[in-house]
Chains A and B, each alone.
Chain A
Amino acid sequence: DGGITQSPKYLFRKEGQNVTLSCEQNLNHDAMYWYRQDPGQGLRLIYYSQIVNDFQKGDIAEGYSVSREKKESFPLTVTSAQKNPTAFYLCASSIDRQLSATNEKLLFGSGTQLSVL
């Protein structure tokens, strides 16, 4: 079955450490996204990518980095510069990179809960 796989489900980071969250999709979707969700809050966009080898900053990109070397993979690195990394991280993809009105539906992975030790 096609879908989006995020791993790990739970991740712990020590102070000063970089950690990488994995996101893989086998849906042949062009666009992929990373969102962060804090308790009681909505999703905030970190980075997005509309095509391989290209990505754009979202609203809260500071302290994060991404790569898009393959269509199916969009890993997110939480760097030591991100001082408040504890959150639920959600990866998503959509079939249409232009997000036209009829194809804007996002499909999400099951998320990664990142906590600081």
Chain B
Amino acid sequence: RKEVEQDPGPFNVPEGATVAFNCTYSNSASQSFFWYRQDCRKEPKLLMSVYSSGNEDGRFTAQLNRASQYISLLIRDSKLSDSATYLCVVNRLDTGRRALTFGSGTRLQVQP
């Protein structure tokens, strides 16, 4: 089983739609969670961190469910510019390895 799993999509949605992505992680020792955005052939960029209480940044809402070991990203009022791949990222602090583990990404295509 992969350490971080995401539905690859693509999710094709019309402008203005609300869309949600889920991501599951296998290791309960994971302690930090993030969503990164990656445009085609570009580098990933941090979209938002995910906090236990849930957090919101404009049209984007991230939530964490530790009991079920999944995190989610909700995008409201989708824009054409939201079209990208969204990467779920986790980190574990129980090992000597200090690096983030990335999911394979969920592709979003917002259509006019």
Residues of A within 8 A of B (CB): 31, 33, 35, 40-45, 48, 50, 56, 58, 88, 90, 97-99, 101, 104-106, 108-111, 113
Q: Which residue of B lies closest to A96 (CB)?
A: B98
| Interface residues of B, dominant DSSP | loop
- Is A42 a contact of B99 with CB atoms below 8 Å? no
Q: 7 closest Cβ contacts across the A-B interface?
A: A108-B43, A42-B104, A42-B102, A43-B102, A99-B98, A48-B99, A41-B104
Q: How many residues of B contact A (CB 8 A)?
A: 25
Chain A residue contacts of B54, Cβ below 8 A:
none
Q: Is B65 an interface residue (CB 8 A)?
A: no
5 intermolecular pairs with C-beta atoms under 8 Å apart: A40-B8, A40-B104, A42-B87, A106-B100, A110-B43
Chain B residue contacts of A113, Cβ below 8 A:
41
- Is A42 a contact of B103 with CB atoms below 8 Å? yes
